[in-house]
């Protein structure tokens, strides 16, 4: 049906963390209990992350640290864990920040740059106006600039924060390569043109992914990120209330689910209401990173048209079903696709910004 590719940790830039084939459920502790490790320059936990799982440790290794900043991984992890433990909604936000960065000009932190009087930056494009988590990146960057100034790019921090946001697993879910450069160009029009749309059909979605060097398996696996987080009524209002222009509802949505969505979104825009109600993208399981998204999909409860589109192609529908029924396989595939996405190269000359919001 499909084959999981081998992810090599010996290619390209340095890798931090490791891919786990049997992640254990649970909740990570957000307190900064590894500060001593940071001060000693140790960049990797070595106590009990990999004990007691009954599996061979043939994938275990201690990756090399980024030159000049051996504390990088500990600092990034501790700050991210602390922030996400205090506000679990940051986990999907940090994942989304990384996705939206990589799909426009590659993984170069161009999404972090602020607009100027002469330029509208990526973060101000309509698809990015609900992107969040910038404060976590800023906190990590500020700490790194004290400990190892001008050594770690903002792009690498975004990639690490996305990985470390998965604190429920208490361990790295995929390796993160280190060595990205920060881009010097950020354009809202490029963001609007390159980001996959929640309104896209399957053909368009797959082409969007292929344009970035990703494939069908990456599309289905990365769509699984919708197992956590929320969407908003504004993105599905036409699907609910005016799908073909005659006041109808998309017939591909399960009837009971459509009724629930219409009830939640019925006041959107009424009485000058400026609040766009939030809706779990994975109904009933929106706070746990698991395979329930694919269950909801099979039950015709995909929130966006782009979710439902996965069922319109036999290959992606079949793959979705495999991920639904094999949790461990999904975790491995998701990690591999995150590695591929995180390797999308930046465009043009790069730098290591001192402040993630402005070029040097």
- What does the DSSP 8-state code read for residue 224? G
Residue written as token pair 């990589």: 102
* Residue (of 207, 204, 209, 184) closest to 359 by Cα position: 184
CB atoms under 10 Å from CB of 358, counted, come to 11
Residue 328 annotated as part of some ligand binding site:
no
Residue written as token pair 């082409």: 207
Identify the helix (H) or strand (E) that includes residue 231.
Answer: strand 230-232
Which residues does 115 contact at the CB level (< 8 Å), separation at least 6? 121, 123, 124, 188
- Residue 23 tokens read as 């992640």
Residue 110 annotated as part of some ligand binding site:
yes
* Residue (of 287, 261, 115, 108) closest to 187 by Cα position: 115
Residue 196 annotated as part of some ligand binding site:
yes
Residue 101 annotated as part of some ligand binding site:
yes
Residue 282 annotated as part of some ligand binding site:
yes
Residue 220 annotated as part of some ligand binding site:
no
Q: Is 205 exposed, middle or buried (0-12, 13-18, 19+ CB in 10 A)?
A: buried
Residue 104 annotated as part of some ligand binding site:
yes
Alpha-carbon span 73 to 66, nearest angstrom: 9
Residues marked as catalytic = 100
Residue 307 annotated as part of some ligand binding site:
no
Residue 227 annotated as part of some ligand binding site:
yes
Which residues carry a binding-site annotation for heme b? 226
Binding region for substrate: 196
Annotated binding site: 101, 104, 106, 108, 110, 122, 196, 226-227, 282, 290
Residue list, annotated binding site for Ca(2+):
101, 104, 106, 108, 110, 122, 227, 282, 290
């Amino acid at each position: 049906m499909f084959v999981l590719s081998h992810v090599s940790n010996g290619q390209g830039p340095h890798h931090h963390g490791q891919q786990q084939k049997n992640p254990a459920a649970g909740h990570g502790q957000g307190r900064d209990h590894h500060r001593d490790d940071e001060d000693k320059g140790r960049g990797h936990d070595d106590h009990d992350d990999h004990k007691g799982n009954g599996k061979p440790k043939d994938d275990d290794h201690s990756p090399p640290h980024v030159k000049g900043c051996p504390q990088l991984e500990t600092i990034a992890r501790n700050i991210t864990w602390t922030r996400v433990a205090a506000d679990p909604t940051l986990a999907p936000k940090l994942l989304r920040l990384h996705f939206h960065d990589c799909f426009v000009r590659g993984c170069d932190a161009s999404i972090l740059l602020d607009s100027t009087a002469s330029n509208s930056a990526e973060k101000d494009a309509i698809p990015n106006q609900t992107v969040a988590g910038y404060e976590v990146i800023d906190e990590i960057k500020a700490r790194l600039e004290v400990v190892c100034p001008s050594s770690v790019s903002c792009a690498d921090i975004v990639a690490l924060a996305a990985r470390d946001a998965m604190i429920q697993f208490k361990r790295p879910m995929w390796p993160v390569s280190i060595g990205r450069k920060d881009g010097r160009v950020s354009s809202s029009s490029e963001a609007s043109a390159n980001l996959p749309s929640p309104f896209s059909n399957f053909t368009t979605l797959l082409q969007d992914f292929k344009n970035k060097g990703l494939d069908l398996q990456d599309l289905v696996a990365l769509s699984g990120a919708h197992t956590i987080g929320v969407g908003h009524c504004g993105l599905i209002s036409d699907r609910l209330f005016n799908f073909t222009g005659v006041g109808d509802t998309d017939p591909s949505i399960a009837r009971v689910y459509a009724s629930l969505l219409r009830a939640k979104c019925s006041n959107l825009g009424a009485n000058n209401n400026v609040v766009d109600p939030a809706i779990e993208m994975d109904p009933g399981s929106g706070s746990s990173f698991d395979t329930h998204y694919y269950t909801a999909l099979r039950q015709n409860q995909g929130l966006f048209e782009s979710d439902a589109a996965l069922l319109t192609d036999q290959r992606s529908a079949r793959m979705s079903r495999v991920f639904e029924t094999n949790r461990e396989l999904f975790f491995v595939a998701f990690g591999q696709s995150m590695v591929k996405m995180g390797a999308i190269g930046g465009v043009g000359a790069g730098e290591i910004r001192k402040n993630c919001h402005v070029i040097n």
